[in-house]
């Protein structure tokens, strides 16, 4: 059995020479898309490869899509295989923003049917604080592998499905928006051209999943956190969303940690919803 949610710095440090482990640096700045790749080139965890959110973990934006469309599965499988990832590989992902970017690769691997993927708890900052080894040279070359993955489209909810539910007045699926409360209420929108949220969505900002040091809260604390918004619902009726389908995966990871399995992702999220001005928008609490 591999690790499928979190890995601690101390454990990862003992696995740095393990040929069956691969580390990916997922640091990314939405406002400066080249900054973190340059930072990676300067220093990173030993033999960590860089995963660029826009180039590696997303497809190009289209007039109908959100800001980070899901990557083509075949291209993603080739990219993973090119970095030596096979079905037997334990993958570890990290960033410097509490896991908000690294969760994209965590979720994508699970979407492809690869559960042996874990987030470095506390990320870059925890590694630095622990005084663990860093690398300033490029990661060592690895032999390419064949990564066979098959996307589970049942994990993904589409705009059409949500729009149809809204028109029918159904509540079969419950949207859970991971953006900040200010963005959800429409009081501030630093990224997208329209502010607000999808009618009927509830707000659980991803920051609530973390302790002050950037590590994830305990299973018990997360179960308590999600008990109120779930309100007795089955977890598989929850659909996580955010601005572009990336940070929403943070709530999906938190739910997995809490033992609340089966929630799905609205991959297009807010930035795709507002592509059509006829789709309704709500503001306020």
Query: Tokens standing for 117?
Result: 């993927």
Query: Could you count the other beta carbons within 10 Å of the beta carbon of residue 7?
Result: 23
Are the C-beta atoms of residues 241 and 269 closer than 8 Å to each other?
A: yes
Residue 144 tokens, joined: 């390419």
Q: Partners of 266 in the beta sheet?
A: 157
Residue of 25, 76, 79 whose CA lies nearest to 47: 25
SS3 letters for 150-181? CCCHHHEECHHHHHHHHHHCCCCCEEEECCCH
Residue 216 φ/ψ, nearest 5 degrees: -75, 145
The number of angstroms, rounded, from the C-alpha of 76 to the middle of its chain's C-alpha atoms is: 15
Residues 26 and 102: beta-carbon distance below 8 Å: yes
Token pair for 65:
């899509």
The 264-266 sheet, strands edge to edge: 156-157, 264-266, 238-241, 174-177, 202-203
Q: How many CB atoms lie within 10 A of CB 80?
A: 27
242 is catalytic: yes
Residue tagged active-site, from 9, 26, 77, 242: 242
Catalytic amino acids?
242
């Amino acid at each position: 059995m591999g690790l499928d949610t979190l890995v601690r710095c101390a454990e990862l440090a003992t696995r740095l020479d393990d040929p069956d482990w691969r580390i990916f640096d997922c640091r990314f700045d939405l406002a400066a898309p080249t900054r973190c790749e340059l930072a990676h080139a300067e220093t990173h965890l030993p033999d960590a490869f860089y995963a660029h959110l826009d180039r590696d973990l997303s497809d190009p934006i289209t007039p109908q899509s959100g800001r980070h469309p899901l990557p083509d599965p075949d291209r993603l499988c080739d990219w993973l295989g090119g970095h030596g990832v096979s079905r037997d590989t334990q993958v570890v992902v990290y960033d410097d923003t509490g896991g908000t970017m690294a969760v994209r690769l965590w979720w994508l691997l699970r979407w492809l049917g690869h559960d042996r993927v874990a987030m470095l708890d506390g990320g870059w900052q925890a590694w630095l604080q622990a005084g663990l080894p860093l690398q300033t040279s490029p990661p060592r070359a690895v032999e390419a592998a064949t990564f066979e993955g098959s996307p589970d489209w049942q994990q993904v909810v589409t705009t059409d499905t949500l729009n149809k539910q809204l028109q029918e007045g159904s509540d079969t699926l419950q949207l859970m928006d991971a953006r900040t409360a200010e963005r959800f209420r429409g009081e501030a929108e630093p990224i997208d051209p329209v502010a607000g949220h999808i009618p009927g969505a509830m707000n659980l900002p991803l920051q609530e999943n973390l302790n002050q040091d950037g590590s994830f809260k305990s299973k018990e604390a997360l179960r308590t956190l999600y008990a109120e918004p779930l309100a007795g619902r089955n977890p598989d009726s929850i659909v996580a969303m955010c601005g572009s389908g990336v940070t929403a995966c943070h709530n999906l990871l938190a739910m997995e940690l809490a033992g609340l399995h089966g929630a799905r992702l609205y991959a297009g999220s807010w930035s795709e919803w507002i592509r059509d001005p006829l789709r309704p928008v709500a503001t306020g609490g």
